[in-house]
Amino acid sequence: MQRTRFYNIHRQLGAKLVPFAGFEMPIHYRHGIIAEHHAVRTRVGMFDVSHMGEFEVHGPQALEVVQYLTVNDASKLTVGKAQYSAMCNEQGGIVDDLLVYRLEENAFMLVVNGACEEKDWQWVSSHVAAYDVVVRNVSKDINLLAVQGPQSLATLQPLTPVNLSELASYTFVRSELEGVPMILSRTGYTGELGFELYFHGDERIAEHVWNAIMQSGEPYGIEPAGLGARDTLRLEKGYCLYGNDIDETTSPLEAGLAWITKLQKGDFIGREALLAQKEHGIKRKLIGFIVESERFIPRHGYAIAKHGQTIGHVTSGSISPSLGVPIGMGYIPPAYAEPGTHIEVVAGTRSCTALVVKLPFYPPPAQSSVQSAE
């Protein structure tokens, strides 16, 4: 089991550590998942996400490689910009979802899910031989912290010369924080204002950065946050979790990711299958739902039924800490996917009515326009 360079800090802070993506990772700290969730929604929280994978693509044909491997249009990226994307197999199934950073004119960084790093590296490596590029797996060299929440900018600003208020969503800069060179990126997996910090260094440097951020965030009530809060935060925003909501059997079109799937950009792996799927129509669609009983919590694998017949399965589910109601996502036929439709969630002999709703769950519709830019 691998350990990130923040492992000793996690231990000192009383984290509950569990195996995840080949690492010992914190699920939560002393105050628990709910407290960490609310800290990120209302103040600021910091996640160690150093288990994520990073691949660099360098060379004259770097753009061509990224275009062929991913579904989004990387040609739209200028240096200093990032985009959300996915890699598909020939059948249109999702190999992984990822972030694409344009580091230089002929250099990109692909940030992949930690649980998929080895599989993704084999996939990328097996498709670049015909191109004039060099690809490197730099995952083990990089520390990655995500600082998320309304007070994330106020927390980080005193530590860096960069004017973070000028950093637009899905852009990044190379600078330093507390004297440590790093990429400061305005992305995130929580739906809040937030930044992700990529930097090199041993345990001493990693702990130096962590401690500086915690000290700077103390006036704002900063909390360390684990994978448990990360999961509830992303679920409230309707963000997919690889291995639960998306995998190699689901396509971007089924998963509500048509907006990142640029079928007209030219050839890429899985394009023909996705074109055919678009022409003939998808047979299932990822939906969000709210369970109409606070005592019934949907879980991954529960059946979804209509008129007593199973029509799909839950992919993610939990109590929403922000809304106080059970929420979930799952795949069902498009005929039942319209918001306002009632379905049933079934767990063995127990079942409960649920209402299909438009994603995201949070913020509720009255607030959505206010925070839609995040």
For residue 347, give every residue at least 6 positions away whose Cβ sits within 8 Å of its Cβ, in sequence order, or none: 296, 299, 302, 303
29 band by pLDDT with thresholds 50, 70 and 90: very high
- Partners of 143 in beta bridges: 199
Residue 323 backbone zone (phi > 0: left; psi -120 to 50: alpha; other: beta): alpha
pLDDT for 370: 33
**Start-to-end CA span in the chain (Å):** 35
How confident is the model over 263-271, as a mean pLDDT? 97
Over 70: is that where the pLDDT of 372 sits?
no
What does the alpha-carbon distance between residue 108 and residue 82 come to, in Å, rounded to a whole number? Answer: 9
pTM check: above 0.75: yes
> In the block, which residue shows the tokens 């704002």?
220
Looking at the chain, the whole-number percentage of residues with pLDDT higher than 90 is 96
> In the block, which residue shows the tokens 């206010």?
370
Alpha carbons within 13 angstroms on the beta-carbon side of residue 19 total 2
pLDDT for 178: 97
pLDDT for 57: 98
> In the block, which residue shows the tokens 């990429």?
183
What does the alpha-carbon distance between residue 337 and residue 179 come to, in Å, rounded to a whole number? Answer: 51
Over 50: is that where the pLDDT of 374 sits?
no
Are the C-beta atoms of 92 and 40 separated by less than 8 Å? Answer: no
Rg (Cα) of the chain, in Å, rounded?
21
Position 149, amino acid: G
How confident is the model over 272-277, as a mean pLDDT? 98
Count Cβ atoms below 10 Å from residue 94 Cβ, excluding itself: 24
pLDDT for 364: 74
pLDDT digits (tens, 9 = 90+) for 242-260: 999 999 999 999 999 999 9
Are the C-beta atoms of 287 and 337 separated by less than 8 Å? Answer: yes
pLDDT digits (tens, 9 = 90+) for 77-114: 999 999 999 999 999 999 999 999 999 999 999 999 99
User: Nearest-5° angle of CA 91, CA 236, CA 5?
Assistant: 80
Residue-range domains of the chain with CATH: 7-50+142-235 (3.30.1360.120), 53-137 (3.30.70.1400), 283-374 (2.40.30.110)
Residues in the chain: 374
What does the alpha-carbon distance between residue 365 and residue 289 come to, in Å, rounded to a whole number? Answer: 14
pLDDT digits (tens, 9 = 90+) for 307-357: 999 999 999 999 999 999 999 999 999 999 999 999 999 999 999 999 999
Are the C-beta atoms of 52 and 111 separated by less than 8 Å? Answer: yes
Residue 15, token pair as written in the block: 């984290």
Over 50: is that where the pLDDT of 368 sits?
no
For residue 355, give every residue at least 6 positions away whose Cβ sits within 8 Å of its Cβ, in sequence order, or none: 289, 290, 292, 340, 341, 342, 343
263 band by pLDDT with thresholds 50, 70 and 90: very high
What does the alpha-carbon distance between residue 290 and residue 298 come to, in Å, rounded to a whole number? Answer: 9
pLDDT digits (tens, 9 = 90+) for 138-169: 999 999 999 999 999 999 999 999 999 999 99
Over 60: is that where the pLDDT of 206 sits?
yes
What does the alpha-carbon distance between residue 216 and residue 222 come to, in Å, rounded to a whole number? Answer: 9
Over 90: is that where the pLDDT of 371 sits?
no
User: If you average pLDDT over every residue of the chain, what do you get?
Assistant: 96
pLDDT for 365: 66
pLDDT for 96: 98
pLDDT digits (tens, 9 = 90+) for 37-61: 999 999 999 999 999 999 999 999 9
For residue 32, give every residue at least 6 positions away whose Cβ sits within 8 Å of its Cβ, in sequence order, or none: none
pLDDT for 189: 93
Give me the sign of the Cα torsion angle 226, 232, 237, 239: positive
